[in-house]
Amino acid sequence: VQLQASGGGLVQAGGSLRLSCKASGSIFSINAMSWYQQAPGKQRELVAAITGGGSTYYLDSVKGRFTISRDSAKNTVYLQMNSLKPEDTGVYYCAAKLRSVYEALSSDYWGQGTLVTVSS
């Protein structure tokens, strides 16, 4: 199983980016998918998550600016990031709690991260 994240880049404050993360491989089912931010010098932090049923979670600091969505048919999760601020800068990692065809229970899988830089 692999998670491939893309969509990061350099943007000015107030701009927008859309991150994508596709899960591929021998997947039996996906329970939830999420995005984490690791800002320079800080620990990785959960930014947004979405369950299979469509329930969402957002970190308070991104509410109203970020939107997480999911295309279950494509095993892909998106993060639409609007009104970006310099403090949104960091490496964004996607994660999925999923069950592969070789497992009896779900496990956590991580993507490689994509860098988002917001200039002031």
Read off φ and ψ for residue 65, nearest 5 degrees: -115, -35
Read off φ and ψ for residue 72, nearest 5 degrees: -65, -35
- Residue from 64, 95, 55 nearest 77 by CA: 95
C-alpha to C-alpha distance for 92 and 101, rounded to whole angstroms: 27
Task: Note down pLDDT in tens along the chain; length 120 residues.
Answer: 999 999 999 999 999 999 999 999 999 999 999 999 999 999 999 999 999 999 999 999 999 999 999 999 999 999 999 999 999 999 999 999 999 999 889 899 999 999 999 999
Query: Which pLDDT value is given to residue 66?
Result: 98
